[in-house]
Chains A and B, each alone.
Chain A
Amino acid sequence: MNVIVEFFQDNFWALLILKLLIIAGLIPVSGLAIGFGELKLSAKMQSRVGPYFAGGRYGWLQLIADGIKFIQKEDIIPAEADRPVFRWAPALVMASTVGLFIVIPFWPEGSVAGIEFSQGSVRNLDVGIFYALAISSLSTIGVLMAGWSSANKYSLMGGLRAAGQLIAYELPMVLSVIGVVIMAGTMSLQGIVDAQAGFSFFGTVDSATLGHLVPPYMILQFVGLVIFFTAALAEMSRIPFDMPIAESELVTGYLTEYSGFRFLFFFLAEFANMFTMSALAATLFLGGYLGPGVETYPILGPVYLVSKIAVLVFLMIWFRWTFPRFREDQLQNLAWKILVPLGLANIVVTAILKVVV
C-alpha cells in the first residue's frame, strides 16, 4: 500500500493521470446524479412521481437506461449538414465542461491515514478563475457550430440566439467574480478558499472559530453571488434563459438535428455544467470545501463541497420548473442594462471597502 502511495507521490505524471481518470469518472456520475435529481425533484414539484420502473421502485436506473439507449442509436447526420463542424460541436461543448473540473479544489491540504495530500484540485493554476471563465466560454463556439452546421432554419435561429445570449452573459459573470478576487487578493481558486478560511469578521471573529459555517463572501459579496448565479443559469441555457433551446418554439433549437450519442454529449454536458458552475459558485462564494472540522478530518472536505453544490443545483432545478422563459430582447436587457451596471457597482464598492476598511 505504501509503495503505491509513494509511487503516486513521487511520480508527477502518474498522479496527474490518476486525477484525470477520477475526473473522467466524476463527470458522468455527476451528470447522472444531477439528471436523476432533476427528474425526481421536478416530479415532486408537479405532483407526480417521476421515474418509477427502471431499476426498482425509485427508478434510479432511468438515466443509465437512457444513456444506453442513446449510445445504440443510429448516427444520423442531415444530408446538407457541414459534416466536420457537425461532428466537432458536441466535443467542444463537452471539452469546455471538462476543462472546468480541473481547477476546482475538492479537498483541503492535509493528510488522511498518513497519506499527505498537497493540492485540492487537479492542477492549482495561479490564474484559476480566469482560466475557468475562459474555458467555460468555449461552449459558445460549440453551440454556434451546432446551430450553423445543422442546415436547419430552426437550429440556425437557436444558434444565433445562443450566441447572443452566451456572449451577453459572459460579462456579468466575469464582473461578479472580480469582487471576490479583489477581496481574496488572488485569482487561484485554492487561494480564494484559503482566504475565506482565514477570514475574520470585523477583525475579531475568526471564520475558523465559527466552524466555517458562515461563508464570509456569501454575505459580503451577496450581490456578486446573485449575479453569478443568474449568469451561470444563462450560460447553461436553462430556463428562464433557455431561448436557444426554447422547446415550444424552436423544437430544441440548435440541438434539433442531434440524435443518439451526440445528443447524449450535449445532454451530459449540460448536467455536468450544472455541477461545475455550482462548484465554482460554491468555491467562490460559499467557501468550497470549508466546513466544521475540515482541518482535522480532511475527508469531510468533498462532502461539504458536494452538499453546497447540491443546494445550488436544487435552486437551479427549482427555477427551471417554476418560471417561464424570457424573450431574447428581455434577456439582453437584463444582461446589459441591469446585471452589468450592478456588477460594476459591486466592483467599485468592494474595492473602496477593501482599501478603506
Chain B
Amino acid sequence: MTESPSDEAAAEPSPLEEFAATVASTVGAARHDVVFDTVKVYVDPSAWIETLRTAKHDLGLVHFSYLSAIDWANDVAVGDPPAEPVEERFEVLAAVADLTDGRLVHFSTSLSKDEPALPTATSVYAGAAWHEREAHEMFDIDFAGHPHLEKLYLPSDFEGHPLKKSYPLLTREVKPWPGTVDVEGMPDEGDEASDEGSDDAAVTTPAGATTENPGR
C-alpha cells in the first residue's frame, strides 16, 4: 500500500523517523532524512569506516545490502541533466539493514570529483568487496585497502568507467538523445463504470524514435 508521507501526522514522528534519528545521533551524523520510507544518513568521508562499524556493532545493522554510487554532474553525455544545477560530486551509498524489523539505512557520503577515494569497508562488512569492485570499475572510485580491486564485470582491457555521466552510450552516439518526446499513451482503463472520455486516437511515437525511424 502506498501512502504519501504527508498523510502521516506531522506532530508525532513515525517509528522509522525515530529510528533514523537514533542512527544519526549514534554515528554523529550531520544530517539525516526519511523520505518515502527511505532512511538516509549523511556522513563525512573521514568518518566512513567508524560509521559503518558503529552501525554493525551498536545499532544491529548487521546485514550488508549493497554499496553503490551516484554521479552528480551538470553536464551529462547521456540522458537529461538534473533539473536544477547540483553540486558536482560522487555520492557513495552503503545500505545496511537489520534482520529483525527490516529497517534499512542508507549511509551516504560525498566525494570530490577530482580524487574520489574512500577507505574500504571490507574490514567491517566482508561482503562489500564485490560491491566496491563494481563501484570502482563503474565510477573510478578508489577504495584504499581493498584486497583485490580489479574489474568485476568488464573485460580487463576495457577503458573508461561506464556509469560516470561523462561516459557516452555508444548507441546514443549513433542516434542522439531525442529529448523529451511523447511516450506511448496508456490504453484506457477497463472499467465500464468509470468513463474516461479520452480515447487514444492518435498513435504517438515511442521515446527515442525520430521521424525517419518511427518505430523500433
Indicate yes or no for A touching B, C-beta below 8 A: no
Q: Identify the A interface with B (CB < 8 A).
A: none
